[in-house]
Structure 1
Amino acid sequence: MDHSLLIARLGKQIRDKRINRGLTQAQLAELAGLTRQKIIAVEQGKQSVAMVAYARVLGALDCELAVIPAAMPTLEELGELFE
């Protein structure tokens, strides 16, 4: 499994959780002690984001990271890899 796909999935899950909680990126940034630009990078699955930033965001959302077997990529995800 391509690592960039896994990071992209994590970013999408974080974005979905933020939206479901009714938070803006700025509000989540404040809760996590990060900048809004860092939240954007996390949600976009930027590879330059340190794991501690993901941990702070997950903590601010009252979530944790779980390790599960990877699912096969969707056609949409495969297309995004080649953009």
Structure 2
Amino acid sequence: MNFSVLTHKIGSQVRSMRLNRGYKQAELARLAGVTRQKLIEIEQGSPSVSMSAYARVFAALGSEVKLVPASLPTLDEVDDLFNE
């Protein structure tokens, strides 16, 4: 799996968790001890963000990382690529 795909997936999950917890970007950034711009980069899947910044955001969200084997995309996921 391409690292760009992974960073985008992680960013999307961070954004979803933030929204589910009712945090605005500035609030989560403050809790995590990162800048709002850094949080935006994380949510957008920027590959230049340090693991330390990711770890701070994960901790502020009360979450952890679990590595699982990559799987092939489902037909729905592939179909979504053509609808964008």
TM-score by length of 1: 0.88
Residue aligning to 2:65? 65
TM-score by length of 2: 0.87
Number of positions where the alignment pairs a residue of Structure 1 with one of Structure 2 = 79
Where in structure 1 are there 5+ consecutive unaligned residues? none
- Is it true that 1:29 corresponds to 2:29 in the alignment? yes
Percent of residue pairs bearing the same amino acid type: 51
> 1:12-71: per-residue Cα shift (whole Å, max 9, x none)?
000000000000000000000011000000000101100110000000000001001113
- The residue type equivalent to 2:7 in the other structure is I
1:72 is displaced (CA, Å) by: 2.1
Runs of 4+ in 1 over 4 A off after TM superposition: none
Correspondence 1:4-83 to 2 at 5 A? 4-73=4-73, 74-75=77-78, 76=80
Larger Rg: 2
Separation in structure 2 between the aligned mates of residue 43 and residue 71 of structure 1, nearest angstrom: 22
- The residue type equivalent to 1:49 in the other structure is V
Where in structure 2 are there 5+ consecutive unaligned residues? none
Separation in structure 2 between the aligned mates of residue 21 and residue 70 of structure 1, nearest angstrom: 27
